[in-house]
Amino acid sequence: MRPYEVVKRAVDCTVAAVGLLVLAPLFALIALLVRLDSPGGVFFAHERVGRYGRKFKVLKFRTMVRDAPKRGAAITAGHDPRITRVGKILRKTKLDELPQLWNVLKGEMSLVGPRPEVEKYVQLWEPTLRAIVLSVRPGITGLTQIRYRHEESLLAQHPDSEAYYRETLLPLKLQSDVEYVKRRGLAFDAWLLGRTLGALFEREQTPSPKTQGE
């Protein structure tokens, strides 16, 4: 195992463990708000494809109505009526992603890595590029997550969001994930983490795929 991977895993475990402890009061508050806002559980577990093609459940705070998977597609546009009132705030601030620290601690994810994708979309990836992306752990944040952080707004601009995602966004995100794998390193990971924190405070603008960047 490369020294980079050893250090990266040590950092992942340390940050995830400390984060889960320190953020426990915030977790409790969010859980209460989710329960008061709409019927259903606090967490939502969605199956994704991880390293070496292994499937796992990505944990998030529930931001949609209880039976959301039965009411629409796997992708979510910004105007999706399934999103709850509290869910809109959680998605905008990315607080819904915090439970993924547990996925990191379990070794299913990393703090930084390619975005975890659902199986039906992974099957659409070009095989050579798919092998590259699935050679590393997916991440809570990463190059693709930053570049396409306004994905829901992009999807909302198109009447057939599913087709637009498959034909336009999915190939772009795949190339971005491959770029991360080829550039990955401790310094780049640290830069991406800092960029993620900065992005949380940026004013959202109407995006387009060609203007998405680092």
Instruction: Look at residue 151 in the predicted model and tell me its pLDDT.
Output: 87
- Alpha-carbon radius of gyration of the chain: 17
> How far is Cα 41 from Cα 209, in angstroms, rounded to an integer?
34
Is 22 a residue whose pLDDT tops 60? yes
**Phi then psi for 61, rounded to 5 degrees?**
-70, 140
Q: Count CA atoms closer than 13 A to 44's CA, side-chain side.
A: 21
Residue-wise pLDDT for 31-69, tens only, equals: 999 999 999 999 999 999 999 999 999 999 999 887 776
Residue-wise pLDDT for 136-159, tens only, equals: 999 999 999 999 988 888 888 888
Residue-wise pLDDT for 88-140, tens only, equals: 999 988 999 999 999 999 999 999 999 999 999 999 999 999 999 999 999 99
Closest CA to 125 of 116, 133, 135, 113: 133
